Amino acid sequence: LLLQLRKGSSGPVTDVRVQYLVPSGATASYGGDPPPSVSSDGQVSIPPLPFNGSASHVLTLTAAPGPIDPNFQLRIRIAQGARQDEVAVPVAFFGLQSLLSPAVLSEQQFGQNWGGHAAEKRLEVAGSAVATAEQYQTALEGRVNLKVVKVIGKEVISAGQHPTLGLCLVHAKLGTGKLNFIVRSQDPAYTAGLSAALSTLLA
């Protein structure tokens, strides 16, 4: 999640405080330009901003994968002097795919990792509009943040990386109006969470 604040009128901006109210079960790490100063209660101090200046915060949330509570939300509270505003970031931004990054593997590396990632789930997604390997690759990389390793006819292998749970591997077979998946990782909950994301985002 990227939060950017910009000053667009005369005079500096001072005494701006941003507090991230992180939901239970999630942990947060912070970065930014300039780097923020974070207190124990999650309040982030922003240095004075000159005319037309800006500050950016990069907030990374890490949570255990699995079914997402529909009430899950991150609340951001921004205060300056006596004024205070609060916004909620909805659950749609916090699917497992938001924590994944593409894993660049060779076909050989994919095969070498397959046996060691034994937490497996097989699933079929019926009624999918994805009909070709090209459409699948576009949807997979754009919606799920996995990287296609190789396309072999109607079969596609891909991989992703979670910041704490590690590598995930996906073997997909394209059929008429359906997709068949074999999903593997080293954690059953991770595998289940990725399977749920695939069935939702590629339907």
* ω into 90 cis (within 30 of 0): no
What pLDDT is stored for residue 128 in this prediction?
A: 83
Beta-ladder partners of 199: none
Is a pLDDT exceeding 90 seen at residue 8? no
Residue-wise pLDDT for 90-117, tens only, equals: 554 556 777 789 999 999 999 999 999 9
| Residue 77: burial class (beta carbons within 10 Å; 0-12, 13-18, 19+) | middle
pLDDT of residue 156: 96
Is residue 147 a contact partner of residue 159, using CB atoms and an 8 Å limit?
yes
What length does the chain have? 203
pLDDT in tens, 127-137: 888 889 999 99
| Cα distance between residue 164 and residue 113, in whole Å | 17
pTM of the model: 0.58
